[in-house]
Amino acid sequence: MAVYPRVPGHQVVGEVIEAGDGVQGWGRGERVGVPWLHRTCGMCEFCRRGEENLCPEAVFTGLHVDGGFADALLAEAAFALHMPAAWLPEKAAPLLCAGIIGYRALRIADLAPGERLGLVGFGASAHLALQVAAGWDCPVLVFTRSEAHRRHALALGAAWAGTIDDTPPVRLDRAIIFAPAGELVPATLAHLRPGGTLAINAIHMSSIPSMPYERIYGERTLRSVANATYRDGVDFLALARERDLRVSTHAYPLEQANQALADLKASRLEGAAVLIP
């Protein structure tokens, strides 16, 4: 349970100031990434299966422990991620949540090379997931109400961009919803082929409305994405280094955090907002 007041901030790039007694693999001055998942119990059935993202005792950065809106924070060495020193911090920070959770969503959606992928909502996470999928030779179709976001998607290599009410040129093999709007579920299922998978990448979402059974009939699969594992982070950062992903960011000084949140809510920026202390 979260206890307030709490310092927020959950995808953080910094340097190691000091390592605790017994910590191995980290040294002063190393570039470190602190993701959403701060630590887990390590003993429950989920942790033992490598599904620590589902651990009921999981602790999250910026929610249960103080986060990155601070001069310094405490990170668990076993869950912190090594970051290349050459990466600009403001470009690397969105990889630690938007990037990792988008990568997990691609896996949960069962996306295979060459399959047609739909992305519903196009912000910080989707613009990175698009590039990963394109690297697997997957045509990506983007659904978003923002004309600016549609242009951004096409510039990054999307095969098509429109709104959820438009009819795409092909049926989707897999799809991911990033926008927290329950009404998008039946609308997206209507674009999905029989046997396809729809993954919902949202911690919170409005209620999913009643829908005709034929929207999911035909062995379509509906899945949710819950947090991410440490292995997701390691694997995704390795892929990001290999692919040289283009991270679209808009930087704000920390004092303008409220403006950054307002701009995100109103879809006034492309990619990710980054706060710089």
* pLDDT band for position 218 (cuts 50, 70, 90): very high
The answer to whether residues 74 and 40 belong to one domain is yes
- Mean pLDDT, to the nearest integer, of 105-126? 97
The answer to whether residues 24 and 113 belong to one domain is no
pLDDT at 217 over 80: yes
Look up residue 99 and give its amino acid: G
Helices 230-243 and 124-135, interaxial angle, to 10°?
70
The answer to whether residues 108 and 196 belong to one domain is yes
Q: How many CA atoms lie within 13 A of 185 on its CB side?
A: 23
Percentage of residues in the chain having pLDDT higher than 90: 92
- Tally of domains within the chain: 2
In a domain, 183, yes or no: yes
* pLDDT band for position 271 (cuts 50, 70, 90): confident
In a domain, 207, yes or no: yes
CATH number at residue 134: 3.40.50.720
Residue 1 is predicted with a pLDDT of: 73
- Per DSSP bridges, beta strands 160-162 and 12-15 are unpaired
Residue 61 DSSP label: B
The answer to whether residues 23 and 78 belong to one domain is yes
Domain closes at, from 206, 224, 242: 224
Residue 233 to residues 97, 122, 158, 172, 272: CA-CA distances in angstroms?
9, 21, 24, 27, 18
CATH number at residue 31: 3.90.180.10
Range of the domain at 210: 99-224
The answer to whether residues 71 and 106 belong to one domain is no
The answer to whether residues 53 and 80 belong to one domain is yes
| 27's tokens | 């040294």
pLDDT tens per residue across span 43-72: 999 999 999 999 999 999 999 999 999 889
pLDDT at 150 over 80: yes
pLDDT at 95 over 90: yes
Residue 210 DSSP label: P
In a domain, 142, yes or no: yes
Query: Which runs of consecutive H residues, i.e. helices, occur in the chain?
Result: 45-48, 89-92, 98-108, 124-135, 147-155, 184-189, 230-243, 257-265
CA 251 to chain centre: 18
pLDDT tens per residue across span 222-247: 999 999 999 999 999 999 999 889 99
| CA neighbor of 67 nearest in space, from 26, 38, 91 | 38
Q: Is the pTM of this model over 0.75?
A: yes
Mean pLDDT computed over every residue of the chain: 95
Domain closes at, from 200, 224, 248: 224
- Mean pLDDT, to the nearest integer, of 75-100? 95
Residue 265 is predicted with a pLDDT of: 87
Q: How many CB atoms lie within 10 A of CB 92?
A: 23
The answer to whether residues 107 and 55 belong to one domain is no
pLDDT tens per residue across span 151-201: 999 999 999 999 999 999 999 999 999 999 999 999 999 999 999 999 999
The answer to whether residues 105 and 218 belong to one domain is yes
Residue 18 is predicted with a pLDDT of: 94
pLDDT at 93 over 80: yes
Domain closes at, from 21, 52, 86: 86
In a domain, 230, yes or no: no
